[in-house]
Chains A and B, each alone.
Chain A
Amino acid sequence: MTTASEPYVLNIGPQHPSTHGVFRLRVVMDGERIQDIDMVVGYLHRSMEKLAEERTYTQNIPFTDRTDYLAAMSNNLGYCLAAERLAGIEVPDRASYLRVIFAELQRLASHSMANGTFINDAGAWQTPLMYMFREREKILDLFEMTCGARLTTNYMRIGGVAFDPPAEFFPAVNALIDELPDRIAEYTELLVDNEILLARSRGVGVVSAEDAINGSLVGPVLRASGVPWDLRKAEAYCAYGDFDFEIPVGHVGDCYDRFMVRLEEMRQSVRIIRQALDGLPSGPHKTEIPLALRPAPGEAYARVEGPRGELGFYVVSDGGPAPFRFHIRAPSLINLSLLREMAVGTSLPDAIVTLGSLDIVVGEIDR
């Protein structure tokens, strides 16, 4: 007797516990095995890029908060760098250092979230996520202290940062970075040698270095595949050239490597913040720019190493007060594009873990 099974379509999302937002996967499955994946995006489309053409350069900063809502600081920073490059504005040293401090704090917060949800997708019932949320809360408290908002910070300005941090910020951030290495060691102890996590994530969703480069992957996903590429080293924007830090590079490019790279990047971020706080120069925290900035016609592209990878902003000016064209190169979307290659042929749990390890933010994919 022969048995035959016919493939069926499983609709994952737009509402599903592990699609991290309103993202939809149409999965063609044969039993538990995945034959094909269709990625359906656009449920969170808010036409950010078009809206930006109607608003002045400064008014566009809050929009960037809302693309990648887990890394608002990095998005602000990327856009402000682009606008500064377009208008030829110099940034004071203190502002550069503050930008580094807040971008790295944001990276810590975002990586906590990424690793927590990744373990959640691997099936640990919320516990590591809650642990990592504990530290993320403290970072968000620091943001609130400084700029009044926790998630959509709107902190960076063209020409500097909006506010100098208040006096109580510095003891708080020092206490936090003294505490964080212990906390990261705690996660390491709980998760790194966990046999179940190893069994679930090693050899799952592998991307070779060649494929990663050809697929234009960025950020921790690229580094996990073994490519030592980090814009903080390669371009040393802001003040990153002043600091001594290392970039972690994975071995095989599986989900476990991505998790470990993020964990190690958290350690390195703590290192950078400590150095930046020690060497924080005094002086103004922003340069004064005209209220209605009218850059000369031209175009500028600036990119930063966001928590999810290379985050680019392309701004074109026609001489008016609003950008003529505004484009965001979103790392989540580019990292997601290889999911099909990673997941086809594996089983549904593997695909979910792979998706979790890519650390997508749907607000950024759809914009």
Chain B
Amino acid sequence: MMRSAWLDPVREPTRRLSPQVLAPLAVLLVAFLALNVAIAVLIVSGRLDGHWYDFRDLGNAVQALREWLDDRTADQPGWLSDLLGDHWLSYIVTALIGAIGILSFVGVVLLVLIWVERRLIGRIQVRRGPNRVGPFGLLQPFADAIKLIQKETLIPRGADRFMFYLPPVLVFIPGLLVWAPVPWAPHMSYLDINVGVLYLIAISSLSTLAIFMAGWSSNNHYALLGAMRTVAMMISYEIPLSIALLSVVLFTGSMQLSEIVQWQADHNMWLGVLMPLALFTFFFSSTAELNRTPNDIAEAESEIVAGFHTEYSGMKFGLFYAVELGNAVAVAAFVGTFFLGGWSLFGLEEWVPPYLVFALKIAAGYFVLVWLRGTLPRFRLDQLMMFAWKYLIPISLLQVILVAFERSIFEHWDVPGVIPLALFTIVNAVFAVRIVRFWARFLGYRPERETLLAPTLTRSVGGLQAAQRMRTVR
């Protein structure tokens, strides 16, 4: 019998988790949520104050631990207190807890999201994605990691060995550091500094150096081209990215990330809704900094093979890959923090742990990034540069001017905050649409007519004369 797979497709039975596994998980989840709600009821009714058992905010628990440690060490001065101050033990312990928390979060996220990304891309591309190693292919990232670690590390002849070894490690440092100021819940952030936005901008541009080192030391034209492209793009897109964040800082009046989230929670208003243009600018610039489609020109596969990490093999390549993924998640986190209300969700954060709300927003942002990667072609380098300098920077500067006016109106107008915010939302949305259209026309862009795009159909054939006749007919 001839095979006709698509007339009578042989479907693999869909694999599901067995009820023996699923039932306890469901019970645990329901119990967890019920406990949350119970604690929330007790706290709202005033019968409890927020304390360490309020695990909806892990900051409470750490704070309690800190106080307990301070009580123990306050009356026992020693040379360490002389050196580091009275609270040295609580300081070191909480710092360690936070660092371990961030490291384990990033580690787990990297392993899980490799699988998530490949599965999602598989779905987008009408195929299955990894589904062989472990249930649903969940162990695929582990298999990949083991494979990469086992591989031989090749160093091209003529490469600068020290500079070649350094970048995979260097690129990891900013990838971890950016997670420090992220506010997960009202009191749950590792480094709640008052120049958080500045810190972020500074840290995020550090990886450029590592990437350029990688490209330069590889002694490979593709790697060099990729590195040059990365540097050009990072420098260009830092500016619109910073300007977009400037709008946020102007309006909320703070550079502290927790304050920015608190502002959004207090006013029940997402900054992404209030200023969509800033959200778009930030997101687009971030994809450029991340080297993800449509801006993945630094490692454009069809042109320069793998860009700056062409010569890296084994776990060195694995580190680059992991950092790229981790940065994508970090961008999702910052879009969530700055523009989508962080851990707040219109009062829901009272009833479920805020860090879960925030994780949900990260997941949503990350999904959009994967979706873009699965859909769009790539820009050219000069087009991207043009887009940054001639398009994004002017319109985001105009946006900042508008936001500055709105801020001063917001401060001095003596009406309930809802009215100006609603007004500004409408004004900003209209402004965004108008300025995008106006600036595109100003730069000479004209939308193509549908008839111009489609080829002409003809029934007669001929050579050059026929071609010229067809040209004159049009």
A residues engaging B (CB < 8 A)?
Answer: 8, 10-11, 16-18, 32, 119-127, 130-131, 134, 137-138, 141, 144-145, 166, 168, 171-172, 175, 190, 192-194, 196-200, 209-210, 213, 223-230, 233-234, 246-251, 256-257, 260-261, 264, 347-350, 352, 356
Whether the pair A228, B381 counts as a contact (CB closer than 8 A) is no
**Residues of B contacting A125 with CB < 8 Å?**
121, 293, 301, 373-374
CB contact under 8 A between A251 and B380, given known A144-B2, A228-B460: no
Whether the pair B471, A209 counts as a contact (CB closer than 8 A) is yes
- Determine which of B6, B296, B379, B467 lies in contact with A141 in the assembled complex, contact meaning CB atoms within 8 Å: B6
The yes or no answer to B153 lying at the interface (CB within 8 A) is no
Whether the pair A144, B293 counts as a contact (CB closer than 8 A) is no
CB contact under 8 A between A196 and B463, given known A131-B126, A166-B2, A257-B455: no
Whether the pair B458, A228 counts as a contact (CB closer than 8 A) is yes
**Residues of A contacting B455 with CB < 8 Å?**
223-224, 248-251, 257, 260-261, 264
**Residues of A contacting B375 with CB < 8 Å?**
124, 127, 190
The yes or no answer to B415 lying at the interface (CB within 8 A) is no
Whether the pair B380, A349 counts as a contact (CB closer than 8 A) is yes
Q: Could you tell me the distance between the alpha carbons of A121 and B381 in the complex, rounded to whole angstroms?
A: 15
**Residues of B contacting A234 with CB < 8 Å?**
461
Indicate the member of B222, B377, B474 with the most A CB atoms within 10 Å.
B377
**Residues of B contacting A248 with CB < 8 Å?**
455-457
CB contact under 8 A between A123 and B221, given known A228-B458, A228-B467: no
Whether the pair B381, A32 counts as a contact (CB closer than 8 A) is yes
Chain B interface size band reads 35 or more
13 chain-A/chain-B pairs, Cβ below 8 angstroms: A10-B222, A123-B379, A124-B293, A125-B373, A141-B3, A194-B377, A228-B458, A228-B462, A246-B457, A246-B458, A261-B455, A349-B300, A350-B380
Whether the pair B380, A347 counts as a contact (CB closer than 8 A) is yes
**Residues of B contacting A223 with CB < 8 Å?**
455
**Residues of A contacting B461 with CB < 8 Å?**
228-230, 233-234, 247
| Residue ID in chain B nearest A146 by CB atoms | B2
| Residue ID in chain A nearest B380 by CB atoms | A349
CB contact under 8 A between A18 and B303, given known A123-B294, A168-B2: yes
**Residues of B contacting A122 with CB < 8 Å?**
302, 377-378
Whether the pair B293, A123 counts as a contact (CB closer than 8 A) is yes
- Determine which of A141, A145, A200 lies in contact with B380 in the assembled complex, contact meaning CB atoms within 8 Å: A200
Q: Could you tell me the distance between the alpha carbons of A324 and B221 in the complex, rounded to whole angstroms?
A: 48
Whether the pair A348, B463 counts as a contact (CB closer than 8 A) is no
Whether the pair A260, B376 counts as a contact (CB closer than 8 A) is no
Q: Could you tell me the distance between the alpha carbons of A347 and B380 in the complex, rounded to whole angstroms?
A: 9
Whether the pair A123, B458 counts as a contact (CB closer than 8 A) is no
Query: What 7 pairs between A and B have smallest CB-CB spacing?
Result: A123-B378, A130-B125, A248-B455, A246-B457, A209-B467, A18-B302, A124-B377
CB contact under 8 A between A130 and B127, given known A166-B2, A248-B455: yes
Whether the pair A264, B454 counts as a contact (CB closer than 8 A) is yes
The yes or no answer to B464 lying at the interface (CB within 8 A) is yes
| Residue ID in chain A nearest B378 by CB atoms | A123
Whether the pair A144, B464 counts as a contact (CB closer than 8 A) is no
Q: Could you tell me the distance between the alpha carbons of A229 and B463 in the complex, rounded to whole angstroms?
A: 7
Q: Could you tell me the distance between the alpha carbons of A261 and B222 in the complex, rounded to whole angstroms?
A: 33
CB contact under 8 A between A226 and B470, given known A249-B455, A260-B454: yes
The yes or no answer to B459 lying at the interface (CB within 8 A) is yes
* B:419-474 near A, CB below 8 Å: 448, 452-464, 466-468, 470-471, 474
| Residue ID in chain B nearest A134 by CB atoms | B126
CB contact under 8 A between A247 and B377, given known A32-B225, A168-B4: no
Q: Could you tell me the distance between the alpha carbons of A17 and B222 in the complex, rounded to whole angstroms?
A: 13
**Residues of A contacting B460 with CB < 8 Å?**
228, 233
Whether the pair B7, A249 counts as a contact (CB closer than 8 A) is no
Whether the pair B300, A226 counts as a contact (CB closer than 8 A) is no
Whether the pair B303, A127 counts as a contact (CB closer than 8 A) is no
